Amino acid sequence: MADIRIVEVSPRDGLQNEAIAVPTEQKAQLIANLLKAGLKEIEVSSFVSPKWVPQLGDVEDLWPMLPPGGIYSTLVPNEKGLERAQALGVERIALFTAASDAFTQKNINMTVEQSLEVFARIRSNFKGFVRGYVSTIFECPYAGRIEPSRVREVIDRLLEIGVDEISLGDTIGVGVPQEVKQLHTELSGLDQSKIVWHFHDTRGTAIANVAAALDLGYNSFDSSAAGLGGCPYAKGAGGNLATEDLVYFAERSGLSTGVDLNLLAQASLPILTTLQKPPTAKAQLAALASS
Amino acid sequence: MADIRIVEVSPRDGLQNEAIAVPTEQKAQLIANLLKAGLKEIEVSSFVSPKWVPQLGDVEDLWPMLPPGGIYSTLVPNEKGLERAQALGVERIALFTAASDAFTQKNINMTVEQSLEVFARIRSNFKGFVRGYVSTIFECPYAGRIEPSRVREVIDRLLEIGVDEISLGDTIGVGVPQEVKQLHTELSGLDQSKIVWHFHDTRGTAIANVAAALDLGYNSFDSSAAGLGGCPYAKGAGGNLATEDLVYFAERSGLSTGVDLNLLAQASLPILTTLQKPPTAKAQLAALASS
């Protein structure tokens, strides 16, 4: 049993915005590599319409190729997506909302309230495990700073609806430990095991935020191998927290992750080659240099 | 008066290992840009022999070109270097040692004790401000983990000799907040205002370490614009903590730095072009993308 729980999001969150098409076989290989490195929980793709996100349009082909032994989840944007997921026998799904109406309007053309109504219908039609993503927990690119009380409201609604866990996303990577602490104050009384932190490293603060969350008693984090994805601003810019950085930090801090950092550092190399990106995640580079 | 004190080291630490020669005029321009961005304390060069570090062999030419208004220091490796510094009227110098004999032997061909003897002679011959660098505070690449008590011994010797401040360096960028806290425990009774933390971001932990040090009452940090220098392992790998990341983190945390992040993000661009390196520091990229 690991001391911290990592939900690996690179196959979905890492690839959804890439201009270069990644062959399905290579996605399956990435997932196999991640599993072999010790990552058990992996969000593998999305049932979003291929019209909107062609990068993930091969989920029906990918699903049967997944190696046994993983705990796989997929993003489900709507009831049509749920039908597709159920047809494949998917047992864990993730739904998307935010703490900002401006953000959900731009991304899914709904208010937060409307997205929660979709959540409720999907929840009542699905017996498996449901994650709820709450984006823009600290700041929205369109509406500015977000009040912690607003995040709490959305969390409470999700728990009423019956989601099994909630992933709190610093979507644009602006947060600092002080904001993690402020939000934590607002989360009093919640079951901490249902909260997963999804930090972005756009400005280099993600590991400091992880450290703050650990100090406050949380132990679950989303991250992405090689830091793939997460809406980076510019070539080389940080988006998602790199799983390599998270694993290095945790293991050096005496917290077991169950992940082999050297295997993990290698896991994304083929897909980085396909994407024509050099590795940039710091602990990945350090591991590659020393192995 | 800023809430945190930043000592900018890019002109010295950032350039000393570069293969591409940087014209002296461009170094002066970098320093002027840094000063304009609000960085007051800048380590500008070194009086090391040009035979060993040709990159900094132009210090006598650079010194008269420095714009007024800065608090400039230079590294002084030995008594010959001190003579050169005094001939120029340098008022602040920095001396180098480590918490590991294996590290000083490899770098300056002396034991730590021998380096402290040189320190003592230089101190007695110099009236100005003296900084002592203590490298490898957590781990030495040749000798492994370093005991906090060993770091304390070296600090005590430096204070006996009469240095004015001590910069504690995580030279290979391995440390995590737990190690900052462990070392802090060993520093009890010391005047915290004499301690500067010099974190490297090789594995993405530098800002978390800064956060830990701030929580423990320290407020002085070394960093390098664009993360230049600091013995990176590989192209694109992190070495020094990027000043941009430090400034972003501090300001977002409500701590004033006196630095304009947008000006700072621009400050190193000409020298990065000369060095044929794209910017990679996260808060720098984010600032460039949004300006």
> What is the tens place of the pLDDT at every residue in B39-88?
999 999 999 999 988 899 999 999 999 999 999 999 999 999 999 999 99
Q: Cβ(B44)–Cβ(B92) under 8 Å?
A: no
- Pick the catalytic residue: A21, A231, A255, A269? A231
A83 half-sphere exposure, CB direction, 13 A CA radius:
3
pLDDT > 70 fraction of chain A, expressed in percent and rounded? 97
- Cβ burial of B276 (10 Å; 0-12, 13-18, 19+) is exposed
Considering only CB atoms, which chain A residues are within 8 Å of B182?
Answer: none
Contacts of B279 (CB under 8 A, 6+ apart): A236, B226, B265, B268, B269, B272, B285, B288
Which element (helix H / strand E) includes B152? helix B148-161
Pairwise CA distance, residues A213 & B131, whole Å: 35
Q: What is the pLDDT of residue B21?
A: 87
Instruction: Give the CA distances from residue A73 to residues A43, A85, A92, B164, B238, in Å, rounded to whole numbers and listed in that order.
Output: 5, 10, 5, 57, 33
The shortest C-alpha distance from B68 to chain A (Å) reads 32
Residue B29 has pLDDT above 60, yes or no: yes
C-beta atoms of A176 and B252 within 8 A: yes
Contacts of B113 (CB under 8 A, 6+ apart): none
Quote the crossing angle between the two packed helices B177-186 and B148-161, to the nearest 10°.
Answer: 50
Q: Cβ(A213)–Cβ(A248) under 8 Å?
A: no
Pairwise CA distance, residues B69 & A155, whole Å: 52
Q: Assess B199–A contact: CB distance below 8 Å, yes or no.
A: no
User: Which DSSP state fits B226?
Assistant: G
The shortest C-alpha distance from B201 to chain A (Å) reads 8
Residue B277 has pLDDT above 80, yes or no: yes
Residue pLDDT, tens place only, A119-136? 999 999 999 999 999 999
C-alpha closest to that of A164 among A122, A117, A125, A128: A128
Indicate if the alpha-carbon torsion angle A230, A233, A234, A236 is positive or negative.
Answer: negative
Burial state string for A166-178 with b = 16 or more CB within 10 A and e = fewer than 16: bbbbbbbbbbbbb
Q: Assess B291–A contact: CB distance below 8 Å, yes or no.
A: no
Which element (helix H / strand E) includes B223? strand B220-223
Q: Assess A226–B contact: CB distance below 8 Å, yes or no.
A: no
The shortest C-alpha distance from B183 to chain A (Å) reads 14
C-beta atoms of B174 and A252 within 8 A: yes
Q: Assess B216–A contact: CB distance below 8 Å, yes or no.
A: no
Strand pairing of A71-75 and A41-46? parallel
Q: Assess B248–A contact: CB distance below 8 Å, yes or no.
A: yes
- Cβ burial of B127 (10 Å; 0-12, 13-18, 19+) is exposed
Instruction: Give the CA distances from residue B69 to residues B12, B66, B85, B225, in Å, rounded to whole numbers and listed in that order.
Output: 18, 9, 19, 19
Residue pLDDT, tens place only, A98-157? 999 999 999 889 999 999 999 999 999 999 999 999 999 999 999 999 999 999 999 999
Residues lower than pLDDT 70 in chain A? 231-238
Instruction: Give the CA distances from residue B280 to residues A205, A239, B260, in Å, rounded to whole numbers and listed in that order.
Output: 15, 13, 19
Instruction: Give the CA distances from residue A267 to residues A64, A84, A290, B27, B66, in Å, rounded to whole numbers and listed in that order.
Output: 20, 29, 16, 40, 48
C-alpha closest to that of A67 among A267, A220, A269, A274: A267
Domains and CATH numbers, chain B: 1-74+224-236+263-291 (3.20.20.70), 91-221 (3.20.20.70)
Mean pLDDT, chain B, whole residue set: 95
Q: Assess A272–B contact: CB distance below 8 Å, yes or no.
A: no
Pairwise CA distance, residues A80 & A40, whole Å: 27
The shortest C-alpha distance from A276 to chain B (Å) reads 15
Pairwise CA distance, residues B4 & A272, whole Å: 39
In chain B, which residue's Cα lies nearest the Cα of A247? Answer: B203
pLDDT > 70 fraction of chain B, expressed in percent and rounded? 97
Q: Which candidate from B249, B278, B279 shows the least CB-CB separation from A205?
A: B249
Considering only CB atoms, which chain B residues are within 8 Å of A285?
Answer: 233-234, 236-238
Active-site annotation of B, residues = 231
Strand pairing of B92-98 and B71-75? parallel
Provide ipTM, 2 decimals: 0.96
Instruction: Give the CA distances from residue B244 to residues A156, A204, B8, B276, in Å, rounded to whole numbers and listed in that order.
Output: 37, 9, 11, 20
